[in-house]
Structure 1
Protein backbone atom coordinates (compact mmCIF):
# COMPACT_ATOMS: atom_id res chain seq x y z
CA UNK A 1 0.00 0.00 0.00
CA UNK A 2 1.40 3.42 -0.99
CA UNK A 3 1.97 6.26 1.46
CA UNK A 4 -0.93 8.22 -0.06
CA UNK A 5 -3.27 5.23 0.28
CA UNK A 6 -2.29 4.75 3.93
CA UNK A 7 -2.82 8.47 4.56
CA UNK A 8 -6.25 8.34 2.94
CA UNK A 9 -7.15 5.28 5.02
CA UNK A 10 -6.12 6.95 8.29
CA UNK A 11 -8.01 10.15 7.46
CA UNK A 12 -11.05 8.07 6.54
CA UNK A 13 -10.88 6.37 9.93
CA UNK A 14 -10.79 9.77 11.66
CA UNK A 15 -13.77 11.01 9.66
CA UNK A 16 -15.69 7.78 10.09
CA UNK A 17 -16.40 7.71 6.34
CA UNK A 18 -16.15 4.99 3.74
CA UNK A 19 -13.25 6.51 1.82
CA UNK A 20 -11.10 9.62 1.70
CA UNK A 21 -9.46 10.66 -1.55
CA UNK A 22 -6.67 13.23 -1.69
CA UNK A 23 -6.95 15.03 -5.04
CA UNK A 24 -3.82 14.73 -7.25
CA UNK A 25 -3.65 18.54 -7.39
CA UNK A 26 -3.14 18.55 -3.63
CA UNK A 27 -0.33 15.98 -3.90
CA UNK A 28 1.30 18.09 -6.63
CA UNK A 29 1.00 21.15 -4.40
CA UNK A 30 2.76 19.36 -1.52
CA UNK A 31 5.56 18.16 -3.80
CA UNK A 32 6.05 21.63 -5.31
CA UNK A 33 6.02 23.16 -1.83
CA UNK A 34 8.77 20.79 -0.73
CA UNK A 35 11.08 21.85 -3.57
CA UNK A 36 10.54 25.57 -3.01
CA UNK A 37 10.95 25.36 0.76
CA UNK A 38 7.28 25.90 1.67
CA UNK A 39 6.43 22.40 2.86
CA UNK A 40 5.50 23.56 6.37
CA UNK A 41 3.01 26.08 4.95
CA UNK A 42 1.56 23.43 2.62
CA UNK A 43 1.15 20.97 5.50
CA UNK A 44 -0.56 23.66 7.54
CA UNK A 45 -2.90 24.27 4.59
CA UNK A 46 -3.53 20.52 4.38
CA UNK A 47 -4.45 20.47 8.09
CA UNK A 48 -6.90 23.35 7.74
CA UNK A 49 -8.52 21.72 4.69
CA UNK A 50 -8.96 18.49 6.67
CA UNK A 51 -10.57 20.42 9.53
CA UNK A 52 -12.77 22.27 7.01
CA UNK A 53 -13.99 18.96 5.65
CA UNK A 54 -14.30 17.54 9.13
CA UNK A 55 -16.91 20.26 9.71
CA UNK A 56 -18.88 19.14 6.64
CA UNK A 57 -18.65 15.44 7.47
CA UNK A 58 -19.58 15.75 11.14
CA UNK A 59 -22.53 18.02 10.34
CA UNK A 60 -23.78 15.64 7.64
CA UNK A 61 -23.52 12.67 10.02
CA UNK A 62 -25.30 14.68 12.74
CA UNK A 63 -28.16 15.27 10.28
CA UNK A 64 -28.37 11.54 9.64
CA UNK A 65 -26.51 11.20 6.35
CA UNK A 66 -23.99 8.49 5.53
CA UNK A 67 -20.77 9.99 4.19
CA UNK A 68 -19.45 7.65 1.51
CA UNK A 69 -16.40 9.59 0.35
CA UNK A 70 -14.50 12.76 1.10
CA UNK A 71 -12.26 14.36 -1.54
CA UNK A 72 -9.62 16.76 -0.22
CA UNK A 73 -8.81 19.65 -2.54
CA UNK A 74 -6.41 22.61 -2.10
CA UNK A 75 -9.33 24.98 -1.50
CA UNK A 76 -11.47 22.68 0.65
CA UNK A 77 -13.22 19.37 0.26
CA UNK A 78 -16.18 17.60 -1.30
CA UNK A 79 -18.28 15.16 0.69
CA UNK A 80 -20.19 12.55 -1.27
CA UNK A 81 -23.21 11.33 0.64
CA UNK A 82 -25.09 8.09 0.32
CA UNK A 83 -27.35 8.21 -2.75
CA UNK A 84 -26.47 11.91 -3.23
CA UNK A 85 -29.41 12.89 -0.99
CA UNK A 86 -27.99 16.09 0.48
CA UNK A 87 -28.98 18.49 -2.29
CA UNK A 88 -32.57 17.28 -2.10
CA UNK A 89 -33.10 19.00 1.25
CA UNK A 90 -32.34 22.73 0.90
CA UNK A 91 -32.08 23.27 4.64
CA UNK A 92 -29.67 20.37 5.14
CA UNK A 93 -27.58 21.32 2.12
CA UNK A 94 -27.19 24.89 3.40
CA UNK A 95 -26.33 23.77 6.95
CA UNK A 96 -23.72 21.26 5.80
CA UNK A 97 -22.25 23.75 3.31
CA UNK A 98 -21.80 26.53 5.86
CA UNK A 99 -20.20 24.14 8.37
CA UNK A 100 -16.88 24.01 6.49
CA UNK A 101 -16.19 27.77 6.32
CA UNK A 102 -17.54 28.08 9.86
CA UNK A 103 -14.74 25.81 11.06
CA UNK A 104 -12.16 28.06 9.36
CA UNK A 105 -13.60 31.16 11.01
CA UNK A 106 -13.58 29.40 14.39
CA UNK A 107 -9.91 28.64 13.80
CA UNK A 108 -9.33 32.35 13.17
CA UNK A 109 -10.95 33.16 16.51
CA UNK A 110 -8.80 30.51 18.21
CA UNK A 111 -5.63 31.98 16.69
CA UNK A 112 -6.61 35.49 17.79
CA UNK A 113 -7.06 34.29 21.38
CA UNK A 114 -3.74 32.41 21.36
CA UNK A 115 -1.95 35.41 19.89
CA UNK A 116 -3.52 37.76 22.44
CA UNK A 117 -2.24 35.65 25.35
CA UNK A 118 1.21 35.33 23.70
CA UNK A 119 0.97 31.61 22.88
CA UNK A 120 1.46 32.22 19.16
CA UNK A 121 4.11 34.39 17.49
CA UNK A 122 3.24 37.08 14.96
CA UNK A 123 4.52 35.27 11.84
CA UNK A 124 2.65 32.04 12.59
CA UNK A 125 -0.47 34.00 13.53
CA UNK A 126 -0.41 35.85 10.21
CA UNK A 127 0.07 32.64 8.24
CA UNK A 128 -2.69 30.89 10.20
CA UNK A 129 -5.13 33.74 9.62
CA UNK A 130 -4.34 34.13 5.92
CA UNK A 131 -4.82 30.43 5.14
CA UNK A 132 -8.09 30.09 7.05
CA UNK A 133 -9.54 33.33 5.68
CA UNK A 134 -8.54 32.26 2.17
CA UNK A 135 -10.16 28.81 2.51
CA UNK A 136 -13.29 30.16 4.20
CA UNK A 137 -13.92 33.15 1.94
CA UNK A 138 -13.10 31.33 -1.30
CA UNK A 139 -15.50 28.53 -0.41
CA UNK A 140 -18.30 31.03 0.21
CA UNK A 141 -18.18 32.28 -3.39
CA UNK A 142 -21.65 31.49 -4.81
CA UNK A 143 -20.74 28.99 -7.51
CA UNK A 144 -20.90 25.19 -7.56
CA UNK A 145 -19.12 23.05 -6.47
CA UNK A 146 -18.05 25.54 -3.77
CA UNK A 147 -19.93 25.76 -0.48
CA UNK A 148 -21.38 29.13 -1.47
CA UNK A 149 -22.77 27.55 -4.63
CA UNK A 150 -24.55 24.92 -2.55
CA UNK A 151 -26.01 27.62 -0.34
CA UNK A 152 -27.18 29.50 -3.46
CA UNK A 153 -28.80 26.35 -4.86
CA UNK A 154 -30.50 25.67 -1.52
CA UNK A 155 -31.87 29.22 -1.47
CA UNK A 156 -33.11 29.12 -5.06
CA UNK A 157 -34.32 25.54 -5.54
CA UNK A 158 -37.66 26.06 -3.82
CA UNK A 159 -38.45 29.02 -6.10
CA UNK A 160 -37.17 27.87 -9.49
CA UNK A 161 -36.81 24.10 -9.13
CA UNK A 162 -33.80 21.92 -8.39
CA UNK A 163 -32.40 21.67 -11.93
CA UNK A 164 -32.67 25.37 -12.74
CA UNK A 165 -31.12 26.32 -9.38
CA UNK A 166 -28.24 23.93 -10.08
CA UNK A 167 -27.67 25.45 -13.52
CA UNK A 168 -27.76 28.97 -12.07
CA UNK A 169 -25.08 28.06 -9.53
CA UNK A 170 -22.87 26.60 -12.27
CA UNK A 171 -23.30 29.72 -14.41
CA UNK A 172 -22.11 31.82 -11.48
CA UNK A 173 -19.13 29.46 -11.16
CA UNK A 174 -18.21 30.05 -14.81
CA UNK A 175 -18.34 33.82 -14.28
CA UNK A 176 -16.22 33.56 -11.12
CA UNK A 177 -13.68 31.34 -12.88
CA UNK A 178 -13.29 33.84 -15.73
CA UNK A 179 -13.01 36.71 -13.22
CA UNK A 180 -10.31 34.90 -11.22
CA UNK A 181 -8.29 33.96 -14.30
CA UNK A 182 -8.69 37.43 -15.79
CA UNK A 183 -7.55 39.04 -12.55
CA UNK A 184 -4.58 36.70 -12.47
CA UNK A 185 -3.57 37.64 -16.01
CA UNK A 186 -3.99 41.34 -15.23
CA UNK A 187 -1.83 40.95 -12.12
CA UNK A 188 0.84 39.32 -14.28
CA UNK A 189 0.89 42.25 -16.73
CA UNK A 190 1.21 44.88 -13.99
CA UNK A 191 4.15 43.05 -12.47
CA UNK A 192 2.46 41.34 -9.52
CA UNK A 193 1.86 37.77 -10.76
CA UNK A 194 -0.63 35.69 -8.80
CA UNK A 195 -0.36 32.14 -10.09
CA UNK A 196 -2.60 30.82 -7.32
CA UNK A 197 -5.53 32.93 -8.47
CA UNK A 198 -5.16 31.74 -12.05
CA UNK A 199 -4.95 28.09 -10.93
CA UNK A 200 -8.02 28.44 -8.72
CA UNK A 201 -9.94 30.02 -11.58
CA UNK A 202 -8.90 27.24 -13.94
CA UNK A 203 -9.76 24.55 -11.41
CA UNK A 204 -13.16 26.11 -10.73
CA UNK A 205 -13.82 26.31 -14.48
CA UNK A 206 -12.92 22.65 -15.05
CA UNK A 207 -15.00 21.37 -12.14
CA UNK A 208 -17.95 23.55 -13.15
CA UNK A 209 -17.81 22.22 -16.73
CA UNK A 210 -17.80 18.65 -15.43
CA UNK A 211 -20.63 19.37 -13.02
CA UNK A 212 -22.70 21.11 -15.69
CA UNK A 213 -22.28 18.06 -17.92
CA UNK A 214 -23.75 15.82 -15.20
CA UNK A 215 -26.78 17.99 -14.39
CA UNK A 216 -29.20 15.71 -16.26
CA UNK A 217 -28.17 12.61 -14.31
CA UNK A 218 -28.28 14.62 -11.06
CA UNK A 219 -31.82 15.71 -11.91
CA UNK A 220 -32.80 12.08 -12.41
CA UNK A 221 -31.39 11.19 -8.98
CA UNK A 222 -33.35 14.09 -7.51
CA UNK A 223 -36.58 12.93 -9.16
CA UNK A 224 -36.01 9.36 -8.01
CA UNK A 225 -35.46 10.62 -4.46
CA UNK A 226 -38.73 12.58 -4.67
CA UNK A 227 -40.52 9.46 -5.83
CA UNK A 228 -39.25 7.60 -2.75
CA UNK A 229 -39.76 10.33 -0.14
CA UNK A 230 -42.61 10.55 2.32
CA UNK A 231 -45.30 13.00 1.21
CA UNK A 232 -46.42 13.89 4.72
CA UNK A 233 -46.34 17.56 5.78
CA UNK A 234 -45.14 18.94 2.44
CA UNK A 235 -46.28 22.29 1.11
CA UNK A 236 -48.22 22.22 -2.15
CA UNK A 237 -46.71 23.81 -5.25
CA UNK A 238 -49.07 24.06 -8.22
CA UNK A 239 -48.28 24.42 -11.91
CA UNK A 240 -50.56 25.12 -14.88
CA UNK A 241 -49.55 23.71 -18.29
CA UNK A 242 -51.06 22.96 -21.66
CA UNK A 243 -51.70 19.36 -22.63
CA UNK A 244 -48.91 19.55 -25.24
CA UNK A 245 -46.23 20.35 -22.64
CA UNK A 246 -43.64 17.59 -22.41
CA UNK A 247 -43.38 15.75 -19.12
CA UNK A 248 -39.69 16.67 -18.91
CA UNK A 249 -40.49 20.39 -19.10
CA UNK A 250 -42.73 19.97 -16.07
CA UNK A 251 -40.65 17.75 -13.79
CA UNK A 252 -37.47 19.84 -14.16
CA UNK A 253 -39.42 22.60 -12.37
CA UNK A 254 -40.01 20.38 -9.35
CA UNK A 255 -38.58 21.70 -6.09
CA UNK A 256 -37.33 19.95 -2.96
CA UNK A 257 -39.64 19.91 0.08
CA UNK A 258 -42.70 20.50 -2.08
CA UNK A 259 -45.49 18.31 -3.44
CA UNK A 260 -46.54 19.34 -6.94
CA UNK A 261 -50.03 19.47 -8.39
CA UNK A 262 -50.24 20.08 -12.14
CA UNK A 263 -53.34 21.61 -13.74
CA UNK A 264 -53.71 20.68 -17.41
CA UNK A 265 -55.37 23.44 -19.41
CA UNK A 266 -57.39 23.28 -22.61
CA UNK A 267 -56.89 25.79 -25.40
CA UNK A 268 -59.58 28.03 -23.88
CA UNK A 269 -57.66 28.08 -20.57
CA UNK A 270 -60.09 25.88 -18.66
CA UNK A 271 -58.76 23.09 -16.45
CA UNK A 272 -59.40 19.72 -18.04
CA UNK A 273 -57.44 17.54 -15.60
CA UNK A 274 -55.38 17.58 -12.43
CA UNK A 275 -52.27 15.39 -12.29
CA UNK A 276 -50.32 14.73 -9.12
CA UNK A 277 -46.55 14.67 -8.78
CA UNK A 278 -46.40 10.91 -8.24
CA UNK A 279 -48.12 10.23 -11.58
CA UNK A 280 -45.59 12.36 -13.45
CA UNK A 281 -42.62 10.78 -11.65
CA UNK A 282 -43.92 7.30 -12.46
CA UNK A 283 -44.20 8.34 -16.12
CA UNK A 284 -40.59 9.58 -16.09
CA UNK A 285 -39.25 6.26 -14.84
CA UNK A 286 -41.46 4.36 -17.27
CA UNK A 287 -39.46 6.04 -20.06
CA UNK A 288 -42.13 8.58 -21.02
CA UNK A 289 -39.85 11.54 -20.33
CA UNK A 290 -40.44 13.21 -23.73
CA UNK A 291 -44.17 12.52 -24.09
CA UNK A 292 -46.71 15.36 -23.77
CA UNK A 293 -48.51 15.46 -20.45
CA UNK A 294 -51.77 15.03 -22.36
CA UNK A 295 -50.76 11.42 -23.04
CA UNK A 296 -51.34 10.68 -19.36
CA UNK A 297 -54.98 11.65 -19.77
CA UNK A 298 -55.54 8.85 -22.28
CA UNK A 299 -54.88 6.13 -19.69
Structure 2
Protein backbone atom coordinates (compact mmCIF):
# COMPACT_ATOMS: atom_id res chain seq x y z
CA UNK A 1 0.00 0.00 0.00
CA UNK A 2 1.40 3.36 -1.01
CA UNK A 3 1.88 6.01 1.62
CA UNK A 4 1.06 9.67 1.10
CA UNK A 5 3.65 12.26 0.15
CA UNK A 6 4.98 14.46 2.93
CA UNK A 7 5.03 18.20 2.18
CA UNK A 8 7.54 20.49 3.89
CA UNK A 9 7.34 24.29 3.78
CA UNK A 10 10.60 26.21 4.06
CA UNK A 11 10.54 29.01 6.68
CA UNK A 12 11.56 31.58 4.04
CA UNK A 13 8.50 30.58 2.02
CA UNK A 14 6.32 31.42 5.01
CA UNK A 15 8.10 34.75 5.55
CA UNK A 16 7.73 35.64 1.86
CA UNK A 17 4.03 34.80 2.02
CA UNK A 18 3.54 36.93 5.12
CA UNK A 19 5.34 39.85 3.49
CA UNK A 20 3.11 39.55 0.42
CA UNK A 21 0.00 39.47 2.62
CA UNK A 22 1.13 42.67 4.33
CA UNK A 23 1.42 44.19 0.86
CA UNK A 24 -2.25 43.23 0.23
CA UNK A 25 -1.37 40.37 -2.15
CA UNK A 26 -2.92 37.56 -0.12
CA UNK A 27 -5.01 36.31 -3.06
CA UNK A 28 -1.98 36.00 -5.33
CA UNK A 29 0.01 34.27 -2.58
CA UNK A 30 -2.74 31.69 -2.04
CA UNK A 31 -3.03 31.00 -5.77
CA UNK A 32 0.76 30.82 -6.19
CA UNK A 33 1.03 28.39 -3.28
CA UNK A 34 -1.58 26.11 -4.83
CA UNK A 35 -0.01 26.32 -8.31
CA UNK A 36 3.47 25.46 -7.00
CA UNK A 37 2.10 22.60 -4.88
CA UNK A 38 0.22 21.10 -7.84
CA UNK A 39 3.33 21.55 -10.00
CA UNK A 40 5.43 19.55 -7.52
CA UNK A 41 2.70 16.94 -7.09
CA UNK A 42 2.88 16.45 -10.86
CA UNK A 43 6.60 15.66 -10.54
CA UNK A 44 5.94 13.35 -7.59
CA UNK A 45 3.12 11.46 -9.32
CA UNK A 46 5.23 10.65 -12.38
CA UNK A 47 8.24 9.71 -10.23
CA UNK A 48 6.12 7.29 -8.22
CA UNK A 49 4.59 5.85 -11.39
CA UNK A 50 8.14 5.12 -12.61
CA UNK A 51 8.92 3.22 -9.39
CA UNK A 52 10.70 5.88 -7.34
CA UNK A 53 9.87 6.56 -3.71
CA UNK A 54 9.21 10.23 -2.96
CA UNK A 55 10.62 11.23 0.41
CA UNK A 56 9.27 14.78 0.63
CA UNK A 57 8.01 17.73 -1.38
CA UNK A 58 9.68 20.89 -0.13
CA UNK A 59 8.21 24.29 -0.96
CA UNK A 60 10.86 27.00 -1.24
CA UNK A 61 10.65 30.79 -1.70
CA UNK A 62 11.28 30.41 -5.45
CA UNK A 63 9.39 27.20 -6.14
CA UNK A 64 9.74 23.69 -4.83
CA UNK A 65 11.67 20.46 -5.07
CA UNK A 66 10.77 16.78 -4.96
CA UNK A 67 13.32 14.72 -3.02
CA UNK A 68 13.55 11.02 -3.76
CA UNK A 69 14.24 8.39 -1.13
CA UNK A 70 15.65 5.92 -3.63
CA UNK A 71 17.46 6.14 -6.94
CA UNK A 72 18.86 9.02 -8.96
CA UNK A 73 16.88 10.26 -11.95
CA UNK A 74 20.11 11.25 -13.70
CA UNK A 75 20.92 7.55 -14.14
CA UNK A 76 17.96 7.13 -16.50
CA UNK A 77 17.62 10.13 -18.86
CA UNK A 78 14.16 9.09 -20.01
CA UNK A 79 12.89 9.03 -16.45
CA UNK A 80 14.49 12.39 -15.67
CA UNK A 81 12.85 13.93 -18.74
CA UNK A 82 9.41 12.52 -17.93
CA UNK A 83 9.51 13.69 -14.32
CA UNK A 84 10.87 17.11 -15.32
CA UNK A 85 8.21 17.82 -17.94
CA UNK A 86 5.37 16.73 -15.65
CA UNK A 87 5.40 19.92 -13.56
CA UNK A 88 5.12 22.42 -16.46
CA UNK A 89 2.50 20.20 -18.13
CA UNK A 90 0.37 20.41 -14.97
CA UNK A 91 0.63 24.21 -14.97
CA UNK A 92 -0.18 24.45 -18.68
CA UNK A 93 -3.21 22.22 -18.13
CA UNK A 94 -4.41 24.29 -15.19
CA UNK A 95 -3.89 27.52 -17.13
CA UNK A 96 -5.82 26.13 -20.10
CA UNK A 97 -8.62 25.07 -17.73
CA UNK A 98 -8.81 28.59 -16.34
CA UNK A 99 -8.92 30.10 -19.84
CA UNK A 100 -11.66 27.65 -20.85
CA UNK A 101 -13.79 28.48 -17.83
CA UNK A 102 -13.31 32.21 -18.37
CA UNK A 103 -14.18 31.92 -22.07
CA UNK A 104 -17.32 29.96 -21.25
CA UNK A 105 -18.49 32.79 -19.02
CA UNK A 106 -18.21 30.85 -15.77
CA UNK A 107 -16.10 33.60 -14.30
CA UNK A 108 -13.80 36.44 -15.31
CA UNK A 109 -12.89 37.56 -11.82
CA UNK A 110 -9.46 38.65 -10.66
CA UNK A 111 -8.84 35.25 -9.13
CA UNK A 112 -9.35 33.52 -12.50
CA UNK A 113 -6.99 35.96 -14.24
CA UNK A 114 -4.38 35.45 -11.53
CA UNK A 115 -4.82 31.67 -11.79
CA UNK A 116 -4.21 31.67 -15.54
CA UNK A 117 -1.31 34.15 -15.39
CA UNK A 118 0.55 32.41 -12.57
CA UNK A 119 0.16 28.94 -14.07
CA UNK A 120 1.40 30.05 -17.48
CA UNK A 121 4.25 32.01 -15.89
CA UNK A 122 5.33 28.99 -13.82
CA UNK A 123 5.27 26.74 -16.89
CA UNK A 124 7.31 29.11 -19.06
CA UNK A 125 9.84 30.00 -16.36
CA UNK A 126 10.42 26.38 -15.38
CA UNK A 127 11.05 25.40 -19.01
CA UNK A 128 14.03 27.74 -19.30
CA UNK A 129 16.98 25.48 -20.28
CA UNK A 130 19.10 25.78 -17.14
CA UNK A 131 19.47 24.02 -13.83
CA UNK A 132 17.92 23.88 -11.26
CA UNK A 133 14.81 24.46 -13.39
CA UNK A 134 12.88 21.68 -15.13
CA UNK A 135 14.15 22.90 -18.50
CA UNK A 136 17.69 22.33 -17.28
CA UNK A 137 16.85 18.74 -16.41
CA UNK A 138 15.42 18.28 -19.90
CA UNK A 139 18.66 19.77 -21.28
CA UNK A 140 20.77 17.39 -19.21
CA UNK A 141 18.70 14.32 -20.04
CA UNK A 142 19.01 15.07 -23.76
CA UNK A 143 22.81 15.46 -23.66
CA UNK A 144 24.11 13.23 -20.87
CA UNK A 145 24.34 10.10 -23.03
CA UNK A 146 26.51 11.86 -25.62
CA UNK A 147 28.76 14.12 -23.51
CA UNK A 148 28.56 12.49 -20.08
CA UNK A 149 26.51 13.27 -16.98
CA UNK A 150 28.99 15.71 -15.40
CA UNK A 151 29.56 17.72 -18.57
CA UNK A 152 25.83 17.90 -19.32
CA UNK A 153 25.15 19.04 -15.74
CA UNK A 154 27.90 21.66 -15.91
CA UNK A 155 26.57 22.97 -19.22
CA UNK A 156 23.05 23.33 -17.80
CA UNK A 157 24.36 25.29 -14.81
CA UNK A 158 26.50 27.55 -17.01
CA UNK A 159 23.45 28.27 -19.12
CA UNK A 160 21.92 29.47 -15.86
CA UNK A 161 24.47 32.30 -15.73
CA UNK A 162 23.51 33.35 -19.27
CA UNK A 163 19.79 33.41 -18.52
CA UNK A 164 20.41 35.15 -15.18
CA UNK A 165 22.36 37.88 -16.94
CA UNK A 166 19.56 38.34 -19.48
CA UNK A 167 16.91 38.57 -16.76
CA UNK A 168 18.89 41.08 -14.72
CA UNK A 169 19.63 43.13 -17.84
CA UNK A 170 15.90 43.13 -18.58
CA UNK A 171 15.24 44.34 -15.04
CA UNK A 172 17.74 47.18 -15.39
CA UNK A 173 16.36 48.23 -18.77
CA UNK A 174 12.83 48.20 -17.38
CA UNK A 175 13.96 50.37 -14.47
CA UNK A 176 15.47 53.06 -16.71
CA UNK A 177 12.44 52.86 -18.97
CA UNK A 178 10.30 53.91 -16.03
CA UNK A 179 8.66 50.50 -15.60
CA UNK A 180 10.63 48.83 -12.78
CA UNK A 181 10.45 45.03 -12.80
CA UNK A 182 11.84 43.77 -9.50
CA UNK A 183 10.81 40.21 -10.33
CA UNK A 184 13.27 39.93 -13.24
CA UNK A 185 16.13 41.09 -11.02
CA UNK A 186 15.21 38.73 -8.19
CA UNK A 187 14.77 35.72 -10.49
CA UNK A 188 18.03 36.51 -12.26
CA UNK A 189 19.83 36.67 -8.93
CA UNK A 190 18.21 33.40 -7.86
CA UNK A 191 19.40 31.62 -11.01
CA UNK A 192 22.92 33.04 -10.68
CA UNK A 193 23.23 31.95 -7.04
CA UNK A 194 21.76 28.52 -7.82
CA UNK A 195 24.15 28.02 -10.75
CA UNK A 196 27.14 29.03 -8.64
CA UNK A 197 26.12 26.64 -5.86
CA UNK A 198 25.46 23.87 -8.35
CA UNK A 199 28.90 24.17 -9.93
CA UNK A 200 30.54 24.11 -6.49
CA UNK A 201 28.63 20.92 -5.66
CA UNK A 202 29.24 19.30 -9.04
CA UNK A 203 31.80 16.85 -7.69
CA UNK A 204 29.39 15.73 -4.94
CA UNK A 205 26.64 15.40 -7.55
CA UNK A 206 28.94 13.25 -9.69
CA UNK A 207 29.76 10.95 -6.77
CA UNK A 208 26.04 10.58 -6.07
CA UNK A 209 25.46 9.73 -9.73
CA UNK A 210 28.23 7.12 -9.75
CA UNK A 211 26.94 5.56 -6.55
CA UNK A 212 23.39 5.32 -7.91
CA UNK A 213 24.77 3.98 -11.18
CA UNK A 214 26.73 1.31 -9.31
CA UNK A 215 23.65 0.22 -7.34
CA UNK A 216 21.44 0.12 -10.42
CA UNK A 217 21.79 -3.34 -11.94
CA UNK A 218 20.79 -4.01 -15.54
CA UNK A 219 20.80 -7.51 -17.07
CA UNK A 220 22.04 -6.05 -20.37
CA UNK A 221 23.62 -2.64 -20.95
CA UNK A 222 25.28 -0.89 -23.86
CA UNK A 223 29.05 -0.51 -23.72
CA UNK A 224 30.73 2.83 -24.36
CA UNK A 225 34.43 3.01 -25.12
CA UNK A 226 36.71 5.84 -24.01
CA UNK A 227 40.40 6.40 -24.77
CA UNK A 228 42.78 8.06 -22.30
CA UNK A 229 46.53 8.39 -21.97
CA UNK A 230 48.20 6.88 -18.94
CA UNK A 231 48.83 10.30 -17.33
CA UNK A 232 45.19 11.47 -17.65
CA UNK A 233 43.72 12.26 -14.20
CA UNK A 234 40.74 10.15 -13.22
CA UNK A 235 38.63 13.29 -12.77
CA UNK A 236 38.86 13.97 -16.52
CA UNK A 237 37.87 10.41 -17.38
CA UNK A 238 34.91 10.15 -15.02
CA UNK A 239 33.44 13.40 -16.40
CA UNK A 240 32.76 11.47 -19.60
CA UNK A 241 30.72 8.74 -17.88
CA UNK A 242 27.18 8.62 -19.19
CA UNK A 243 23.97 7.06 -17.86
CA UNK A 244 22.63 3.82 -19.33
CA UNK A 245 26.12 2.86 -20.45
CA UNK A 246 28.94 0.64 -19.16
CA UNK A 247 32.33 2.23 -19.85
CA UNK A 248 35.56 0.59 -20.93
CA UNK A 249 38.58 2.90 -20.89
CA UNK A 250 41.40 2.06 -23.28
CA UNK A 251 44.68 3.25 -21.76
CA UNK A 252 47.36 4.44 -24.20
CA UNK A 253 51.10 4.75 -23.67
CA UNK A 254 53.35 7.48 -25.12
CA UNK A 255 53.38 5.68 -28.47
CA UNK A 256 49.58 5.58 -28.66
CA UNK A 257 49.47 1.84 -28.09
CA UNK A 258 46.70 0.29 -25.99
CA UNK A 259 48.41 -1.06 -22.89
CA UNK A 260 45.36 -1.93 -20.83
CA UNK A 261 41.60 -1.65 -20.52
CA UNK A 262 40.27 -0.20 -17.26
CA UNK A 263 36.69 -1.01 -16.37
CA UNK A 264 34.11 1.47 -15.12
CA UNK A 265 33.87 -0.06 -11.65
CA UNK A 266 37.63 0.36 -11.13
CA UNK A 267 37.46 4.06 -11.87
CA UNK A 268 34.33 4.48 -9.73
CA UNK A 269 36.07 2.81 -6.78
CA UNK A 270 39.02 5.18 -7.22
CA UNK A 271 36.64 8.14 -7.13
CA UNK A 272 34.95 6.85 -3.97
CA UNK A 273 38.44 6.60 -2.43
CA UNK A 274 39.12 10.26 -3.24
CA UNK A 275 41.69 9.57 -5.96
CA UNK A 276 40.40 12.26 -8.31
CA UNK A 277 43.86 13.36 -9.48
CA UNK A 278 45.39 9.90 -9.74
CA UNK A 279 46.52 9.12 -13.32
CA UNK A 280 44.32 6.47 -14.91
CA UNK A 281 47.51 4.56 -15.76
CA UNK A 282 47.97 3.72 -12.08
CA UNK A 283 44.78 1.65 -12.21
CA UNK A 284 46.07 -0.44 -15.08
CA UNK A 285 48.52 -3.30 -15.44
CA UNK A 286 50.61 -2.04 -18.36
CA UNK A 287 51.32 -4.48 -21.12
CA UNK A 288 50.56 -3.91 -24.77
CA UNK A 289 47.10 -5.26 -25.61
CA UNK A 290 46.45 -6.92 -28.94
CA UNK A 291 43.32 -4.99 -29.87
CA UNK A 292 42.56 -7.38 -32.74
CA UNK A 293 41.88 -10.11 -30.20
CA UNK A 294 39.43 -8.09 -28.10
Classify the secondary structure of the residue corresponding to 1:100. helix
Query: 1: distance between equivalents of 2:139 and 2:12?
Result: 26
2:280 is aligned with 1:290: no
Given the alignment, which residue of 114, 119, 122 partners 2:101? 114
1:226-276 deviation digits (Å, cap 9, x = unpaired):
222214322111111111112222112100111111111122222121222
For structure 1, which segment, 65-74 or 172-181, has the greater mean C-alpha deviation from structure 2 after superposition?
Answer: 65-74
After superposition, give the CA deviation of every residue in 1:107-127 in whole Å (9 maximum; x if it has no partner): 022112212332222543322
CA distances 1:34-53 after superposition (whole Å, capped 9, x unpaired) = 12221011101111111111
Are the structure 2 counterparts of residues 120 and 30 from structure 1 closer, same or farther at C-alpha, using a change threshold of 3 Å? Answer: same
TM-score, normalised to structure 1, is: 0.89
Task: State the 1:136 CA deviation.
Answer: 0.5
Q: Which residue of 2 aligns with 1:256?
A: 243
Structure 2 contact 126–135 (Cα < 8 Å) conserved? yes
1:23 aligns with 2:27: no
What's 1:175 paired with?
Answer: 162
Task: Give the equivalent residue in structure 2 for 1:6.
Answer: none
Question: 1: CA distance between counterparts of 2:161 and 2:10?
Answer: 21
Cα deviation per residue 1:186-231 (whole Å; 9 max; x = unaligned)?
1111100111111111122222222221111111111112222214
Q: 1:49 maps to what in 2? A: 36
Deviating runs (4+, > 6 A) in structure 1? Answer: none
Question: Which residue matches 1:11?
Answer: none
**1:1-299 alignment to 2 at 5 Å?**
16-17=4-5, 19-83=6-70, 85-121=72-108, 123-298=110-285
**Partner secondary structure for residue 118 of structure 1:** coil
Q: For 1:142 and 1:258, how far apart are their aligned partners in 2?
A: 24
Aligned to 1:176, what secondary structure does the other structure show?
A: helix
Q: How many pairs were matched up?
A: 285
Stretches of structure 1 that go unaligned for 5 or more consecutive residues are 1-14
Q: CA RMSD in A?
A: 2.0
Question: Which segments of 5 or more consecutive residues in structure 2 lack a partner in the other structure?
Answer: 287-294
